[in-house]
């Protein structure tokens, strides 16, 4: 027997016989507790009820309610090939949240259809969800064949109906099996009542399923989960960790980090309580050290040089399902998470909402309600790296977070080229060619006993006030022994004006140069205090992209706190009616709060 455990789910319309088939499977594989089967059979006899395999599961769930060990939510059984775990995936549409939670962990699914009732609403809905969730191994069990006298035409008719639906949603089922959960036909052994069906049985089909296939030729992908340096425990390794999405990585490989385009070489693969390791592959949670010490952060995607690269995009066409109590709304901002990468998004357009039974689309809508499926255009605040789901499923699916909760999930269908993605490409090629120092940013930060940080002072007040605050803050930090430097956007602007720049959009070019200068200065480990007028949310995103830094503290000085498009958590507002000293005190206090304390000590 293989030492593996495959997760499977049973889905289908209500009363099409899920529990009966599961009960029968458990009984046939001797997975039931001792005496259970006999106990229920005798109970049925005493109460003059016909015995049903579904009672087995009901009985188990009763026991569960009494706090005994067995739970219908997770049933284990085994065949001569391997262990199986049946996951709970409730079929009612109101429980889509739980359906998704159960189904996404399944390697294979059985879709059960009542031979008498044929395709019903949940049949198609579940099939559609399975395809959206990326479950490829689907078998259709046409159940209750005993009620239809095991008639082949009944089976063939349902089969052809299901097949034509599945074709439309690009699902290729592994097979169709005529079964009777109640009578046990074609479950564990081939039934003589269906001589026209030559096999395989349900159990044989199960054993033919594959665990997640490992394709050695797939290009390497890994999301950076974290970067460790346990210096306080006397460990100087700088270890980049993550779980490999696909492919294989080896010591000595040249790697690219996306979307920044930075380049480095794998020095070691770190392990604990294991022999030295020189290569690692899909699904392994690993730790890497690098030769060139570049700035890397959580969410970056690693690929290997000369293998195909992920796409970089910031406008995405997506198919998604919605789970939130509040509908997904046009124009609303959410968090978007793909692997460990995370950015804000705005819903730019809702193309349609889909009726998963008829596959009809409803256009001209401004929201997608709970348990609905639809297609949207999402605009990301900062570009991300992704792959087409057909090439690499884990790199092409995402979730949306509304405040504190995951409220939706989906797959990226396509992207639209836009200025931001083009800029990211340019930045990426700049980073790719960057001559990297041997000294890492972390080392510099350690020497300076501070975190490299950008304190951006902006707003619609007079330039003079911004400068005053900046200089006072610089002096204050300097007197605390910090390595700090003041730069105004004007310093860059004047350099630009002396060159021949008649064809350029001056304001844009000016800001671009400002961003590039900030990028270099931040790499020195300094605390930079920069001033610029009326920085917009978009400007701020561009600064984040250019410097690939999240460590930005933005101060907005204004006489009117409502006059900005910047969202609240990006920025701190200060009213200029306060005296200069009061302002400084407030800014300084906020700099010292928990999330910014690293500025003061490491």
What residues line the site for other proteins (CB under 8 A)?
3-5, 33-34, 63-65, 67-71, 73-74, 76, 83, 97-98, 100-101, 104-105, 133, 214, 225-226, 228, 230, 233, 235, 237, 239, 241, 243, 270-273, 283-285, 287, 298, 323, 335, 337, 339-340, 394, 397, 399, 401, 403-406, 409
Instruction: Tell me how far apart the alpha carbons of residues 315 and 386 are, in angstroms, rounded to a whole number.
Output: 12
Question: Closer to other proteins at the Cβ: 214 or 580?
Answer: 214
Task: Give whichever of 279 and 340 is closer to other proteins, judged by the CB atom.
Answer: 340
Rounded Cα–Cα distance for residues 25 and 15 (Å): 17
User: Please, which residue, 85 or 533, has the CB nearer to other proteins?
Assistant: 85
**Phi, psi (5° rounding) for residue 191?**
-90, 140
> Smallest gap, in angstroms, from Cβ of residue 288 to other proteins?
12
* Shortest Å distance, C-beta 380 to other proteins: 17
C-beta of 105 vs 436, nearer to other proteins: 105
Element (H, E) at 580: helix 580-591
Tokens 């300097």, residue located: 478
Burial (CB count within 10 angstroms: exposed 0-12, middle 13-18, buried 19+), residue 273: exposed
SS3 assignment, position 197? coil
Radius of gyration of the chain (CA): 30
Minimum distance, C-beta of residue 282 to other proteins, in the bound complex (Å): 8
Reduced to 3 states (helix: H, G, I; strand: E, B; else coil), residue 120 is coil
Helical packing angle, 419-433 and 537-547, nearest 10°: 20
- Spatial separation of the C-alpha atoms in residues 351 and 374, rounded to whole Å: 8
Interatomic CA distance for residues 290 and 222, integer angstroms? 15
Closer to other proteins by CB, 210 or 560: give it: 210
Identity of the residue, 119 or 406, whose beta carbon is nearer to other proteins in the bound complex: 406
Give least dist CB 162 to other proteins, A.
25
Cis peptide bond prior to 540, omega within 30° of 0: no
Least distance from other proteins to the Cβ atom of residue 450, Å: 21
Q: In what helix (H) or strand (E) does residue 416 lie, and over which residues does it extend?
A: strand 405-416
Sign of CA dihedral 56, 62, 63, 69: positive
Comparing CA positions, the residue from 490, 578, 586 lying closest to residue 530 is 490
Contact predicate 159/177, CB 8 Å: no
In the complex, least distance from residue 211 CB atom to other proteins, rounded to whole angstroms: 9
Q: How far is the CB of 100 from other proteins (least distance, A)?
A: 5
Minimum separation from the CB atom of position 228 to other proteins (A): 7
Nearer to other proteins, 107 or 474 (CB): 107
Minimal distance in Å, beta carbon 403 to other proteins?
A: 7
Q: Which is nearer to other proteins, 228 or 478 (CB)?
A: 228
Which of 147, 406 has the CB closer to other proteins?
406
Neighbours of 558 (CB within 10 A): 18
């Amino acid at each position: 027997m293989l030492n593996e455990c495959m997760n499977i789910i049973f889905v289908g319309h209500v009363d099409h016989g899920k529990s009966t088939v599961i009960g029968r499977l458990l009984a046939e594989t001797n997975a039931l507790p001792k005496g259970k089967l006999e106990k229920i059979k005798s109970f049925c006899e005493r109460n003059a009820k016909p015995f049903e395999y579904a009672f087995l599961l009901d009985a188990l769930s009763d026991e569960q309610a009494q706090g005994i060990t067995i739970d219908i939510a997770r049933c284990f059984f085994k065949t001569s090939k391997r262990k199986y775990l049946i996951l709970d995936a409730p079929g009612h549409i109101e429980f889509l949240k739980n359906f998704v939670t159960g189904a996404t962990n399944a390697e294979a699914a059985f879709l059960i259809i009542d031979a008498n009732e044929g395709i019903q609403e949940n049949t198609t809905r579940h099939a559609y969800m399975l395809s959206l969730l990326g479950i490829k191994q689907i078998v259709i069990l046409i159940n209750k064949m005993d009620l239809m006298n095991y008639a082949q035409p009944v089976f063939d008719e349902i089969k052809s109906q299901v097949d034509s639906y599945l074709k439309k949603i690009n699902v290729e089922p592994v097979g169709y099996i005529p079964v009777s959960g109640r009578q046990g036909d074609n479950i564990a052994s081939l039934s003589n009542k269906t001589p026209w069906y030559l096999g395989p049985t349900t159990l044989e089909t199960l054993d033919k399923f594959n665990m997640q296939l490992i394709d050695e030729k797939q290009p390497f992908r890994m999301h950076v989960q974290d970067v460790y340096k346990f210096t306080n425990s006397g460990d100087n390794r700088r270890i980049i960790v993550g779980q490999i999405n696909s492919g294989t990585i080896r010591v000595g490989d040249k790697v690219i980090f996306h979307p920044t385009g930075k380049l480095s070489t794998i020095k070691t693969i770190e392990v604990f309580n294991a022999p030295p390791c020189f290569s690692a592959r899909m699904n392994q949670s690993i730790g890497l050290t690098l030769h060139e010490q570049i700035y890397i952060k959580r969410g970056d995607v690693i690929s290997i040089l000369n293998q195909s690269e992920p796409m970089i995009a910031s406008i995405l066409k997506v198919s998604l399902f919605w789970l939130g109590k509040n509908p997904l709304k046009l124009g609303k901002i959410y968090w978007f998470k793909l692997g460990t990468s995370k950015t804000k998004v705005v819903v730019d357009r809702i193309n349609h909402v889909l009726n998963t039974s008829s596959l009809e689309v409803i256009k001209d809508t401004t929201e997608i309600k709970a348990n609905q499926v639809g297609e949207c255009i999402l605009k990301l605040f900062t570009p991300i790296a992704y792959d087409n789901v057909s090439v690499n499923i884990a790199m092409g699916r995402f979730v949306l977070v509304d405040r504190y909760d995951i409220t939706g999930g989906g797959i990226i269908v396509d992207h639209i080229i836009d200025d931001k993605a083009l800029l990211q490409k340019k930045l990426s090629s700049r980073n790719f060619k960057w001559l990297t120092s041997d000294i890492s940013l972390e080392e510099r930060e350690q020497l300076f006993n501070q975190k490299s940080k950008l304190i951006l002072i902006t707003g619609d007040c007079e330039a003079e006030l911004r400068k005053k605050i900046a200089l006072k803050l610089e002096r204050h930090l300097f007197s605390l022994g910090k390595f700090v430097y003041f730069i105004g956007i004007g310093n860059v602007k004047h350099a630009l004006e002396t060159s021949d720049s008649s064809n350029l959009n001056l304001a844009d070019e000016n800001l671009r140069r400002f961003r590039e200068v900030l990028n270099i200065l931040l790499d020195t480990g300094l605390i930079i205090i920069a001033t610029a007028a009326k920085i917009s949310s978009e400007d701020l995103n561009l600064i984040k992209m250019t410097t690939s830094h999240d460590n930005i503290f933005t101060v907005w000085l204004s006489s009117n706190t409502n006059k900005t498009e910047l969202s609240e958590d990006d920025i701190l507002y200060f009213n200029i009616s306060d005296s200069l000293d009061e302002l400084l005190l407030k800014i300084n206090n906020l700099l010292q709060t928990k999330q910014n304390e690293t500025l003061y000590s490491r």
